């Protein structure tokens, strides 16, 4: 194994390799804590709440707006990541963060790989190699891990690492040294180690082994008695007893040969066939090693539970681990299928005892019924046997068996969370999660071979969601999958669930999942199938309430049962849950077969109405002066959420974004057209202001069709107008004009003044974008008159703003200023920071055109402050561009370049083509003013491409003239 220099260090103070040196002084503690949390889980998305436990200690609680602080730290970290010798990307999205980099660049993962190699060599009898690799691993330490952090998250991780990884690494090193005859060296190392880890039982045991290896039995006896009494005095009799058994085994080993099973005993070997091409699961295999084997490889008597959703691979994992560690169980292994979830009746305790006795070579019939249990326990006494109890229904299914297996290591697999076993038998539980994409791809490759279509492989991996059983079924039935996918018109996930049914039986994933469903009590069973109607894979308790119309207490109890059955997963948030895609599809199928049509329709409507009503409440919290669309009748048994302030509404919309998009499509497909066309209006302003223009356009296209199907012409016209505005933002002016003209024709025909106002407003904006300023001023003037006639305050402030900006472009600066000042008053009265930012930027542009540079700068700064307060990316782009023009006019080129560069960078993310085009043009102006002609030309050409997409002749002509002038 070749060891490279680590780019990241957490085995000591948190460090980065900057300029060839591992630097621990690269930042203040909080950014370091944030990076440390991401480094222990690279490639994993962490929510802000989890990071907060690392960044802020109890003495320094997190700020009110944690996300803002984390975003600031992330920005500072990203700058330093660019200086590293490896590629590392820190991503942030809706309050979550993820660090993508090569794990081999992190000293912690180098440590883990080296220790695993050392332990493998030691188990295989290669002590010299084991000592070498263990020493390499331990040399990576620069002190206590995360030595510079004091937060709860960091301290908890440090404690776990030292207990579960560092001490075992040391004991492997010490054991290898002793095997090599270097026990004196091991004792010196132990002196230092035990001064740091005085309470480590593993190190106490290692010292006893070392003293015996040095023939210092009397000293070992004194040490044992001292530690044993100390443990008893301190109230840890379990540890004291463990140390006693260890010491007695050393004494026995010194005076006699190790115990061997009688010759006539033939160890049972009943594990199922191992998977030939077993893939992945390194973490779970390592966990099993840690929980099931002592430091010296001796099996630990007790219970380990593998829990997880149906099809996640619990049985394969248990069997594969058993085969890997078979040599550690010289007295055999036994495997019993309890049939907790299957088409076969569940195994009884009596039948399991009989099967175990038969496996051990005993004849159950030789014993009376009540004596069989005693015979089983007596037969297993003093034997290191592995017993796998597969597919337990619940804790009661195995509770009475476990005392009979007390001398064994018992591995139980179950779809249920067997929490009761943890309390009574100190069972150690491992949650088996779906496989990663890489593991799934590798597993599918073993089933299909190297020649299979890469596109098909990627599709299957995505659809299977990391469930090995489903991957195996698809691999065996790939020809059927391809044929039915291409010709039967069945949805791909539904098709996956149906594969595996043939003359040999029903091994389909749908049936496998349904066994868990049928085992549920009545109430959770109904909630589960109704959750299949939910429009997204994640949901809150309130959304689950809407699905079945029960109160919060009943819903919470049913969800707890579903979580315990591993059909539903709890997310990192306390009141949010998740359905695996395939299990959600299964639930939807069950809703179709087990729920009456009228009740299913009512449940669909309840949950869709919940999202519409809650989105409307969020809109009101964020934009109190804006109309989210006409009201609708809320079904009974639906209690939408309300929001205390704008931040709460914004957070909810961000979290539920994808679900709301799905809800629109689901509502239309299910025939709830009155909800389908309302949903985009309820979330439209949010989607626009936060740059989700493509999403908004897709939702509006669905809404136009649904409004027509609903027979609501006014809603259809209003939605067409919004769709036109969306096309305009994305630079599709021809499509925008078509939608807006249709909307205007309807509004004129019906006399709907609001519709007339909105359509003329947007058509006026388009006219200005294409360079027809006169037509734009005329249409906006008509829109303003209509806004005044309807006393629509929102329309008035926006039309005054656009008309003022149009008059500025036409050169009528005095009239432009009057309209902009009017717009400023309306925006200030409404508390609309977004509108205020744009209006102030417009006033700044007028002042600049009038030669009043100081005034222009003042208004530009005010505009920027308002834009930042609004959190609207489009407003920030516009204000940065306006202020950059002011700085350019005053000769402050560096400041102008910073502002214009920020505007272009942000515009690329929000996909607002008009503001992006203008920002790129201004950046080109700034670069040209500095004499950087080649860069200016490239930037202007980018602006020209954007103006071309818009169909803006005026914009293209302006840029073309600048490029020509530059060439002279």
Indicate the Cα dihedral angle 466, 670, 661, 557, nearest 10°: -60
- pLDDT digit string, tens, across residues 620-646: 999 887 888 888 889 888 999 999 999
Answer yes or no: is pLDDT of 58 > 70. no
Answer yes or no: is pLDDT of 880 > 90. yes
Yes or no: say if 915 and 688 are a contact pair by the CB < 8 Å rule: no
341-350, 410-419, 442-451, 766-775: the lowest-pLDDT one: 442-451
**Phi and psi torsions of 577, nearest 5°:** -135, 165
Give the model's pLDDT for residue 217.
84
Yes or no: say if 500 and 473 are a contact pair by the CB < 8 Å rule: yes
Which pLDDT band holds residue 854 (cuts at 50, 70, 90)?
Answer: very high
Average pLDDT over residues 687-708: 90
For 661, the token pair is: 């998009």
- pLDDT digit string, tens, across residues 66-76: 888 888 889 89
| Placement of tokens 């997963």 in the chain | 569
**Phi and psi torsions of 540, nearest 5°:** -95, 170
Average pLDDT over residues 527-551: 93
Give the model's pLDDT for residue 848.
94
Q: Write out 113-166 in H/E/C secondary structure.
A: HHHHHHHHHHHCCCHHHHHHHHHHHHHCCCCCCCCCCCCHHHHHHHHHHHHHHH
Which pLDDT band holds residue 481 (cuts at 50, 70, 90)?
Answer: confident
| Spatial separation of the C-alpha atoms in residues 214 and 208, rounded to whole Å | 10
Q: Nearest 5°: CA angle at 745, between 741 and 747? A: 115
pTM of the model: 0.61
Give the model's pLDDT for residue 547.
93
Which residue from 270, 402, 247, 257 is spatially nearest to 331, judged by alpha carbons? 270
Please give the full DSSP string across 841-888, using - where no structure is assigned.
HHHHHHHHHTT-HHHHHHHHHHHHHHHHHHT-HHHHHHHHHHHHHHHH
State the CB neighbour count (10 A cutoff) for residue 809: 16
Answer yes or no: is pLDDT of 480 > 50. yes
- pLDDT digit string, tens, across residues 461-478: 888 888 888 888 888 888
Q: Nearest 5°: CA angle at 498, between 496 and 499? A: 70
Indicate the Cα dihedral angle 405, 407, 411, 414, nearest 10°: 30
Helix, strand or coil, per DSSP, at residue 501: strand
Q: 80 or 265, which is more confident?
A: 80
Indicate the Cα dihedral angle 709, 715, 721, 722, nearest 10°: -90
The terminus-to-terminus CA distance of the chain in angstroms comes to 62
Percent of the chain at pLDDT > 70 equals 96
| Placement of tokens 């508390």 in the chain | 831
Which residue from 420, 385, 388, 408 is spatially nearest to 315, judged by alpha carbons? 388
Which pLDDT band holds residue 368 (cuts at 50, 70, 90)?
Answer: low
Helix, strand or coil, per DSSP, at residue 307: strand
Answer yes or no: is pLDDT of 864 > 90. yes
Average pLDDT over residues 128-138: 90
Give the model's pLDDT for residue 370.
61
- pLDDT digit string, tens, across residues 336-361: 999 888 767 788 888 888 889 888 88
State the CB neighbour count (10 A cutoff) for residue 957: 13
Which pLDDT band holds residue 908 (cuts at 50, 70, 90)?
Answer: confident
| Spatial separation of the C-alpha atoms in residues 84 and 537, rounded to whole Å | 38
User: From start to end of 464-523, where are the E strands?
Assistant: 501-502, 505-506
Yes or no: say if 415 and 438 are a contact pair by the CB < 8 Å rule: no
| Spatial separation of the C-alpha atoms in residues 494 and 482, rounded to whole Å | 13
Strand order across the 21-23 sheet: 8-9, 15-18, 21-23
Give the model's pLDDT for residue 50.
80
| Placement of tokens 């070498």 in the chain | 132
Q: Nearest 5°: CA angle at 705, between 702 and 707? A: 105
Average pLDDT over residues 272-284: 85
Average pLDDT over residues 21-44: 87
CA 495 to chain centre: 26
Give the model's pLDDT for residue 688.
85
Yes or no: say if 334 and 270 are a contact pair by the CB < 8 Å rule: yes
Yes or no: say if 955 and 922 are a contact pair by the CB < 8 Å rule: no
State the CB neighbour count (10 A cutoff) for residue 907: 27
Average pLDDT of every residue of the chain? 87
For 671, the token pair is: 């025939």
Which pLDDT band holds residue 262 (cuts at 50, 70, 90)?
Answer: very low
Give the model's pLDDT for residue 599.
94
230-239, 644-653, 772-781, 801-810: the lowest-pLDDT one: 230-239
- pLDDT digit string, tens, across residues 81-131: 998 989 999 988 878 888 999 888 999 989 988 998 888 888 778 888 889
Asked whether the CA dihedral 691, 693, 694, 696 is positive or negative, the reply is positive
| Spatial separation of the C-alpha atoms in residues 152 and 150, rounded to whole Å | 7
- pLDDT digit string, tens, across residues 883-904: 999 999 999 999 999 999 999 9
Please give the full DSSP string across 37-79, using - where no structure is assigned.
HHHTSTT--EEHHHHHHHH--TTSPPPS-HHHHHHHHHHHHHH
| Spatial separation of the C-alpha atoms in residues 467 and 471, rounded to whole Å | 6
CA atoms within 13 A on the CB side of 589: 20
Which range of 19-28, 224-233, 312-321 scores highest in mean pLDDT? It is: 312-321
Answer yes or no: is pLDDT of 584 > 80. yes
Answer yes or no: is pLDDT of 1 > 60. no
Answer yes or no: is pLDDT of 820 > 90. yes
Yes or no: say if 360 and 404 are a contact pair by the CB < 8 Å rule: no
């Amino acid at each position: 194994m070749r060891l490279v220099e680590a780019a990241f260090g957490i085995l000591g103070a948190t460090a980065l390799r900057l300029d060839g040196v591992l630097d621990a002084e690269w930042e203040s503690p909080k950014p370091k804590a944030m990076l440390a949390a991401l480094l222990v889980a690279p490639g994993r998305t962490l929510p802000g709440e989890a990071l907060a436990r690392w960044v802020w200690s109890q003495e320094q609680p997190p700020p009110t707006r944690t996300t803002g602080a984390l975003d600031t730290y992330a920005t500072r970290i990203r700058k330093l990541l660019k200086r590293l010798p490896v590629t590392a990307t820190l991503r942030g999205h809706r309050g979550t963060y993820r660090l993508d980099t090569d794990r081999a660049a992190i000293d912690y993962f180098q440590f883990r790989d080296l220790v695993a190699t050392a332990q493998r060599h030691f188990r295989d009898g290669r002590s010299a190699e084991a000592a070498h690799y263990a020493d390499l691993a331990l040399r990576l330490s620069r002190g206590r891990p995360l030595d510079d952090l004091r937060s709860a998250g960091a301290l908890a991780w440090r404690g776990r690492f030292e207990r579960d990884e560092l001490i075992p690494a040391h004991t492997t090193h010490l054991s290898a040294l002793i095997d090599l005859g270097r026990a004196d060296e091991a004792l010196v190392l132990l002196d230092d180690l035990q001064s740091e880890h005085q309470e480590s039982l593993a190190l106490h045991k290692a010292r006893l082994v070392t003293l015996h290896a040095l023939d210092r039995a009397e000293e070992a006896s004194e040490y044992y008695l001292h530690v044993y009494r100390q443990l008893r005095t301190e109230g840890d009799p379990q540890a004291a007893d463990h140390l006693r058994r260890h010491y007695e085994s050393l004494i026995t080993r010194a005076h006699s040969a190790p115990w061997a099973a009688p010759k006539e005993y033939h160890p049972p070997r009943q594990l199922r066939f191992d998977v030939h091409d077993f893939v992945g699961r390194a973490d779970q295999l390592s966990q099993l090693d840690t929980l099931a084997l002592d430091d010296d490889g001796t099996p630990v008597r007790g219970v380990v539970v593998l829990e997880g959703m149906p099809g996640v691979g619990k049985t394969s994992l248990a069997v594969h681990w058993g085969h890997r560690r078979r040599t550690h169980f010289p007295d055999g292994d036994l495997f019993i299928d309890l049939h907790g979830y299957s088409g076969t009746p569940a195994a009884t305790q009596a039948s399991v005892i009989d099967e175990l006795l038969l496996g051990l070579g005993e004849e159950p019939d030789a014993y009376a019924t009540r004596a069989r249990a005693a015979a089983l326990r007596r037969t297993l006494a003093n034997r290191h046997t592995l017993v796998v109890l597969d597919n337990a229904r619940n804790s009661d299914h195995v509770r009475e068996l476990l005392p009979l297996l007390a001398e064994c290591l018992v591995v139980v697999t179950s779809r249920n969370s067997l929490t009761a076993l943890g309390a009574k038998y100190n069972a150690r539980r491992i949650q088996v999660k779906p496989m990663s994409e890489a593991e799934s791809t590798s597993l599918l490759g073993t089933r299909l071979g190297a020649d299979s279509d890469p596109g098909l492989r990627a599709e299957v991996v995505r659809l299977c969601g990391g469930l090995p059983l489903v991957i195996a079924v698809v691999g065996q039935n790939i020809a059927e999958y391809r044929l039915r996918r291409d010709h039967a018109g069945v949805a791909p996930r539904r098709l996956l669930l149906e594969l595996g049914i043939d003359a040999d039986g029903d091994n389909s994933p749908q049936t496998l999942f349904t066994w868990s469903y049928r085992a549920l009590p009545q109430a959770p069973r109904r909630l589960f199938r109704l959750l299949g109607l939910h429009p997204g894979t994640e949901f809150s308790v309130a959304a689950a309430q809407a699905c079945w119309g029960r109160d919060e207490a009943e819903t919470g109890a049913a969800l707890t049962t579903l979580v315990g059955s591993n059909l539903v997963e709890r997310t990192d948030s306390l009141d949010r849950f998740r359905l695996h895609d395939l299990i959600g599809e299964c639930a939807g199928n069950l809703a179709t077969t087990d729920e009456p049509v009228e009740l299913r329709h009512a449940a669909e409507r309840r949950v869709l109405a919940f999202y519409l009503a809650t989105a409307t409440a969020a809109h009101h919290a964020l934009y109190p002066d804006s109309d989210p669309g006409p009201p609708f009748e809320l079904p009974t048994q639906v209690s939408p959420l309300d929001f205390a302030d704008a931040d709460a509404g914004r957070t909810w919309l961000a979290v539920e974004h994808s679900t709301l998009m799905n809800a629109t499509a689901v509502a239309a497909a299910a025939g709830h057209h009155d909800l389908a066309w309302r949903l985009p209006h309820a979330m439209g302003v949010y989607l626009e202001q936060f740059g989700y223009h493509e999403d908004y356009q897709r939702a509006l296209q669905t809404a136009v069709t649904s409004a027509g199907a609903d027979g609501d012409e006014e809603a259809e016209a209003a939605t067409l107008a919004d769709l036109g505005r969306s096309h305009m933002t994305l630079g599709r002016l021809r499509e925008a004009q078509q939608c807006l003209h249709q909307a205007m024709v309807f509004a004129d025909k019906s006399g709907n003044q609001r519709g007339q106002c909105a359509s003329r407003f947007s058509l006026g904006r388009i006219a200005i974008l294409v360079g027809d300023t006169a037509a734009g001023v005329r249409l906006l003037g008509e829109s303003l008159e209509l806004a005044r006639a309807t006393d629509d305050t929102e329309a008035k402030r926006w039309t005054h703003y656009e008309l003022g900006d149009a008059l500025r472009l036409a050169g009528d600066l005095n009239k432009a200023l009057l309209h902009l000042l009017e717009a400023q008053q309306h925006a200030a009265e409404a508390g609309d920071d977004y509108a205020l930012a744009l209006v102030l930027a417009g006033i700044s542009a007028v002042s600049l055109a009038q030669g009043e540079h100081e005034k222009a700068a003042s208004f530009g700064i005010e505009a920027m402050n308002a834009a930042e307060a609004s959190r609207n990316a489009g407003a920030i782009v516009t204000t940065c561009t306006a202020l950059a023009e002011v700085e350019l006019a005053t000769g402050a080129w560096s400041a102008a370049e910073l502002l214009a560069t920020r505007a272009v960078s942000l515009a690329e993310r929000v996909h607002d083509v008009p503001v992006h085009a203008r920002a790129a043009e201004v950046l080109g102006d700034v670069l040209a003013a500095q004499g950087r002609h080649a860069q200016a030309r490239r930037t202007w050409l980018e602006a020209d491409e954007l103006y071309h997409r818009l169909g803006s002749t005026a914009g293209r002509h302006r840029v073309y003239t600048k490029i020509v002038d530059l060439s002279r």
